[in-house]
C-alpha cells in the first residue's frame, strides 16, 4: 500500500521561504502534477517527498518504496546503459528482466549496450525513467520527466504513467509541460 501525505509543510531554502502550509494526500492510483514558475520550490517539494530534504515545518509521511527521477540521471557514464540500470535494479532487489522490460517501455531496448555518456538529452531522460520503472517502487517522484522528450517519447511517458496509476501506484510529478495524462494540479 503506497501513500504520500504532506501536512502543513513549509520549505525554506537559501534564506527564502518558498512555500508554507502545504497539505496534500495521495492514495494508490492517484497522481498529482506540481506546476509553478522556476524557483518556486517544485524540485525541493519532490526532494522532501523522497526524504532527502527535511521540511522546515510540518510533516511528510510516506508509505512504501519510493523512486525519484531528478535532473541528474545517477547512471554511471562509462557503463553500458543496461549495466548502469542493473546496478540500481540489484540494489532494489530486481532481476535483469525488470531492467529489460523497463528499457522496452521507454523505447530504449536497442540502446541497452550503448555507454550512458553517448546518450542524448532525451534518451538520458528516458533512461532515468527506465530506472524508476525498473525499481518496482510504488511511489514515483518525477522531476520534469518530459523535458527534452520528442512527441513519441512523450506518448510513451504518458502511457507508462497511466499504467503505473492503473496498477495502484502513486505519482507526484513536477513539470512545465503537459504530461498528456489527467492528474490533479498543484500550483506553487
Interacting residues with another protein (CB under 8 A): 47, 50-54, 66-68, 70-78, 87-88, 90-92
Cα angle 102, 83, 130; round to 5 = 20
Kindly state the smallest distance separating residue 68's Cβ from another protein, in Å: 6
183 contacts 32 by C-beta, under 8 angstroms: yes
> Which phi and psi (to 5°) does residue 88 adopt?
-70, -40
Nearer to another protein, 71 or 97 (CB): 71
Q: Which residues pair with 186 in a beta bridge?
A: 34
Nearer to another protein, 78 or 150 (CB): 78
Nearer to another protein, 77 or 97 (CB): 77
Kindly state the smallest distance separating residue 70's Cβ from another protein, in Å: 6
Kindly state the smallest distance separating residue 90's Cβ from another protein, in Å: 6
Task: Give 2's contacts (C-beta < 8 A, 6+ positions apart).
Answer: 28, 63, 64, 65, 138, 139, 168, 169, 170
Q: Is 152 helix (H, G, I), strand (E, B) or coil?
A: helix
Kindly state the smallest distance separating residue 85's Cβ from another protein, in Å: 12
Query: How many other CB atoms are found less than 10 A from the CB of residue 169?
Result: 22
Nearer to another protein, 75 or 106 (CB): 75
Kindly state the smallest distance separating residue 51's Cβ from another protein, in Å: 7
Nearer to another protein, 67 or 108 (CB): 67
Amino acid at each position: 500500500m503506497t501513500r504520500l501525505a504532506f501536512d502543513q509543510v513549509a520549505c525554506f531554502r537559501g534564506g527564502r521561504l518558498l512555500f508554507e502550509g502545504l497539505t496534500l494526500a495521495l492514495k494508490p492510483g492517484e497522481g498529482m502534477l506540481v506546476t509553478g514558475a522556476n524557483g518556486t520550490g517544485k524540485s525541493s517539494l519532490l526532494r522532501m517527498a523522497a526524504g532527502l530534504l527535511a521540511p522546515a515545518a510540518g510533516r511528510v509521511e510516506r508509505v512504501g518504496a519510493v523512486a525519484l527521477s531528478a535532473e541528474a540521471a545517477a547512471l554511471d557514464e562509462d557503463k553500458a546503459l543496461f549495466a548502469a540500470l542493473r546496478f540500481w535494479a540489484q540494489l532494489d532487489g530486481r532481476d535483469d528482466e525488470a531492467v529489460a522490460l523497463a528499457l522496452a517501455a521507454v523505447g530504449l531496448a536497442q540502446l541497452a549496450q550503448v555507454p550512458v555518456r553517448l546518450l542524448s538529452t532525451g534518451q538520458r531522460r528516458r533512461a532515468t525513467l527506465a530506472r524508476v520503472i525498473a525499481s518496482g517502487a510504488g511511489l514515483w517522484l518525477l522531476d520534469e520527466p518530459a523535458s527534452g522528450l520528442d512527441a513519441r517519447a512523450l506518448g510513451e511517458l504518458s502511457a507508462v504513467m497511466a499504467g503505473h496509476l492503473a496498477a495502484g501506484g502513486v505519482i507526484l510529478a513536477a513539470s512545465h509541460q503537459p504530461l498528456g495524462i489527467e492528474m490533479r494540479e498543484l500550483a506553487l
